Chain A
Amino acid sequence: MASPTQLPAAWGPASGPELSDAGIWSRLKGNGTAVLALVLLLLIGVTSLLVPLLPLDDPLETDYENTLQAPGPEHLLGTDAHGRDELSRVLWASRTSLMVGVLATAIALVTGIAVGGLAGYGGRFIDPLLMRITDIFLSFPVILGAIAILAVAGPGRRNVFLAIALFGWPIFARVFRSSVLSVRERDYVKAARLMGASETRIFMTHILPNASAPLVTYTTMAVAAAILAEAGLSFIGLGVQIPYPSWGLMLAESMVLFDRAPWLVMAPGLAVTLTALVFILLGAVATRAMDPRKSGGGGSRR
């Protein structure tokens, strides 16, 4: 299972050059991957929002006269072992997946910014304290930490995203702290301070926007990791519970039917893969858009 710590390493994390939005956007233009990823993201996002309005069967309605039907005009993706419409279940599950992915990452991101920001400003006592706490949480692979929480607090969608967020924030804290430390020393920050701006104002107008750039890649990768974690946790029975649709749970329910009804395995499996892939591609695109080497600026990252 992928965790946010590992993902960006492959693509080379952006090392935090400050770029204006215009710079990033101009580099996005003419980039096929970026366009593809954004279009897919839009498609998945809009579909999951519109699911309740689409003319779909009830994802929970069983029909024991018509179980394990092959894909056909009646049921585009066939039916499952309880005669429920697979297409409807796959689409409804996208809401769970995206909600957990986005919400868990949002909580982790905000917590990470708060802790990392405090540490970056904290000085001699608070900084090491917060960073040691960060190290401790970082020592839990996200999925293992989440399993511990869920085994104790009980399964369910809400506990899943809280558990993922609880072990997902440290990477953001660490990245944001080092970013704050470097931005703090920039000339324009010193200038603002000399001109008498308050620390709060300096933080909000200079440090936060400029130190956030490296977080972009980590955020998209973390959404992908959270989506995969939700699927994994639901697969092992600690996430979304029956009869509610979740891609991981649907795979677990149908894995023994692979020979008789392969569509029941392929549909949710490909759905998770595609959704995670979109966020991974976005991360790769963001990394490239912010990579100083691609802009001809030169200089090694390490």
Chain B
Amino acid sequence: MYRFILRRLLQMLLVLLGTVTILFIVIYVIVPGDAAEVILGTRATPETLASLRHELGLDQPIWTQYGIYLWNLAHLDLGTSYSLNRDVASVIGDHLPATAYLAFSALALELFFGVGWGIYLAWRKSVGLEMFSSVLGAVLLAVPVFFLGLVLQRIFGGWLHILPISGLGGWNPANVIMPAVTLAAAQAVIIAAVMKTSLSDEMGKPYMLAARAKGMTERQVLLRHGMRNAIGPVATLLAIDLGILLGGAVITEIVFAWPGLGRTMFFAARARDVPLVIGTVLVLVVIFVVVNTFADIAYKLLDPRVRLGEERHG
């Protein structure tokens, strides 16, 4: 068990190192021109360019620059935003809570409605209902989040006036509903489908027959035994989901004027503010990798088959 955790953590560090290296390559190798040109624009004189290059360390050999880059990262120094003229790390720190709030609200919606709907599907065993669910899922997967967001905004904010159209509204829970629903909709139906399949598989197993023979009602069997053993695949899916949420949040935040990292990145990208864009991507990817690793470890720790088979079966 400890060996597994250790191996998984080492693997995580390796992936993180690779991730930051890719971003380094993106900035320093792919860029047409360099940061100094971007900052000063095309009308800069060669002298000012040279002095800014020196100041930014761009005249150093690439390996030295890579070393400096890693060293700075290790000290949580993500550079300075060109457009805001502020420390990138502190800009990100300001906007991270709003994104986390949105992502976790969406995750909670996904889990609640996805698992609930999945259980209902498994319980009803209705072919028609399942068909409806998969068509709905396909359509929701196909709708771009910004289109779904705009339409919801129009219906619930513009016409019915029951939900606020945009903004954080001073962390008012009513404000998070629409963006979270927009983000969660497609994933919830996917979770429902996975939950339903997993639960139906579980319900056909012999120990279920034993539980039924003992006189448990179908509902008790489903909720007490089925749920517990069928939730595994859903848990695995949730960790992957976080990446989709973080990616989708970028666009959802723009539609709903949500003051999170996605919106920050949007303005930064428009201003060609490379340090801020790269810093934001880096933070989001790091969160994704770390959460995935810990979800993996937690899953292993919680899996009864790993915990020496001490799980009671009824």
Contacts and interface: CB of A to CB of B under 8 A. Distances in A.
B147 A272 contact: yes
Interface string A252-289: 10010011001001000100111011001100100000
Nearest to B249: A1
B151 interface: yes
B15 A135 contact: yes
B269 A236 contact: yes
Given A147-B277, A148-B277, A276 B26 contact: no
Contacts of B197: 12
Contact of A153 (B31, B139, B141, B292): B31
Contacts of B15: 132, 135-136, 139
Contact of A251 (B150, B190, B274): B150
B269 to A, nearest CB: 4
Contact of B244 (A1, A139, A238): A1
Given A277-B138, A300-B201, A152 B27 contact: yes
A169 interface: no
A105 to B, nearest CB: 16
B139 A273 contact: yes
Interface stretch (A47-55, A178-186, A227-235): A227-235
B278 A7 contact: no
Contact of A5 (B19, B145, B240, B274): B240
A147 B250 contact: yes
A280 B142 contact: yes
Interface in A181-227: 224
A298 to B, nearest CB: 13
23 contacts: A1-B145, A3-B244, A5-B243, A10-B193, A139-B19, A141-B285, A143-B248, A144-B285, A148-B26, A148-B278, A152-B30, A152-B31, A224-B141, A235-B146, A235-B251, A236-B254, A252-B146, A269-B150, A269-B151, A272-B143, A274-B142, A276-B143, A280-B141
Interface in B226-254: 237, 240-241, 243-244, 246-248, 250-251, 254
A139 B278 CA distance: 15
Given A139-B285, A258-B150, A272-B147, A236 B240 contact: no
Name which of B15, B240, B243 has the most chain A CB atoms within 10 A of its CB.
B243
A281 B246 CA distance: 25
Nearest to A37: B138
Given A6-B241, A140-B281, 11 more contacts: A10-B137, A10-B193, A136-B19, A139-B289, A147-B250, A148-B277, A149-B30, A151-B273, A153-B30, A269-B150, A277-B139
A232 B272 contact: no
Contacts of A273: 139, 142-144, 147
A116 interface: no
B147 A7 contact: no
Contacts of A280: 138, 141-142
Nearest to A140: B285
Name which of B26, B138, B154, B186 has the most chain A CB atoms within 10 A of its CB.
B138
B18 A132 contact: yes
A3 to B, nearest CB: 6
Nearest to A10: B190
B228 to A, nearest CB: 17
Contact of A258 (B158, B272, B289, B292): B158
B14 interface: yes
A118 interface: no
B284 A144 contact: yes
Interface of A: 1-3, 5-7, 9-12, 132-133, 135-137, 139-145, 147-154, 224, 228, 231-232, 235-238, 248, 251-252, 255, 258-259, 262, 265, 269, 272-274, 276-277, 280-281, 284, 300
A32 B154 CA distance: 34
Closest 7 interchain pairs by CB? A136-B18, A141-B247, A277-B142, A269-B147, A151-B277, A276-B142, A10-B190
A273 B255 CA distance: 17
Contacts of A133: 18
A284 B147 contact: no
A139 B142 contact: no
Contacts of A248: 144, 146
Contacts of A274: 142
A9 B143 contact: no
Nearest to A135: B15
A111 to B, nearest CB: 15
A6 B15 CA distance: 20
Given A144-B281, A152-B30, A235-B146, A259 B141 contact: no
Contacts of B255: 255
Interface in B132-165: 134, 137-139, 141-147, 150-151, 154, 158
Interface in B85-126: none
Contacts of B281: 140, 144-145, 147-148
A144 B143 CA distance: 19
Contact of A137 (B22, B26, B138): B22
